[in-house]
Amino acid sequence: MKPMIMKKTTAFYLLMPVLLLTSCRQHYEVAGMQRSRILMDARYDAQPDQMVADFLKPYKHQVDSVMGPVVGHTAKYMTAQRPEGTLSNLLADILIWAAKDYGEQPDFAVYNMGGVRADLPKGVVTYGDVLDVAPFENKIAFATMKGSAVLDLFRQIAQTGGEGMSHSVRMVITNDGQLVSATIHGQDIDPHKDYRVATIDYLLGGTDRMDAFKQSTNVNAPKETSNNTRFIIMNYFREMAKQGREVDAEIEGRITIAGSALTGSALNDK
């Protein structure tokens, strides 16, 4: 019987390349892709697995010690949405708030929606909550843009359906991504004037369909880790907590969708 086994084994290994070559001839194409967000919350703790819980216990303690510290409180649940959301408004305003620490006085701020990866809960906000919102190594940055470049930027933002914009901005866009009007501090944008913008260093390369950022000059983009957006967000929360204030933000009409008629100040390329 032993020789028979050896023969079968040898035949198997001789056949393997043929099978592999045959399988390589098959052609596959992606027919479609779908994704969905699965919220991992207390519902999954209804029937905990004790063995898994015991295994994770020492690691959970270490993670909780890092992620658990409270940085502040929110007045309500906040989300980043297009064309405008409470969380995206807040994040853009935080960039304006932080500018003083860099000797900057920006005219407006842009925080990209792609950089916001979670919502903020109502009530207690921890280090871990902020890390969920801003998990990347993006850092605050400042740059100068001519008004003509700002208009290009706002047109590109209109095409995305909206990004996080600071309080000074008012934009009207159409459902098909056209810019109808735009003002900064209530004034029409002068194509020949210089404007200072606060944003994140990632966007200055023209990423996230905001190619106009490539026209920026006089860039101030500190590289130290302390300038990471998540630390700036936490600093803001801690400052509000010292003042006894809950962090809050509202939908203000920073970006609105126009109907068939023009809304606000008509766009004027001077």
- Which residue shows structure tokens 């216990």? 57
CATH class of 70-257: alpha beta
Q: What dihedral do alpha carbons 168, 122, 116, 244 form, nearest 10°?
A: 50
Tens-digit pLDDT string for the chain (270 aa)? 444 444 444 444 444 544 445 555 566 676 766 656 566 666 767 777 778 767 766 665 456 555 679 999 999 999 999 999 999 999 999 999 999 999 999 999 999 999 999 999 999 999 999 999 999 999 999 999 999 999 999 999 999 999 999 999 999 999 999 999 999 999 999 999 999 999 999 999 999 999 999 999 999 999 999 999 999 999 999 999 999 999 999 999 999 999 733 344 444 443
Are residues 171 and 92 in contact, defined by beta-carbon separation less than 8 angstroms? no
From CA 106, how far away is CA 184, in angstroms rounded? Answer: 11
pTM score, two decimals? 0.76
The contacts of residue 152 (CB under 8 Å, 6+ apart) are 211, 212, 215
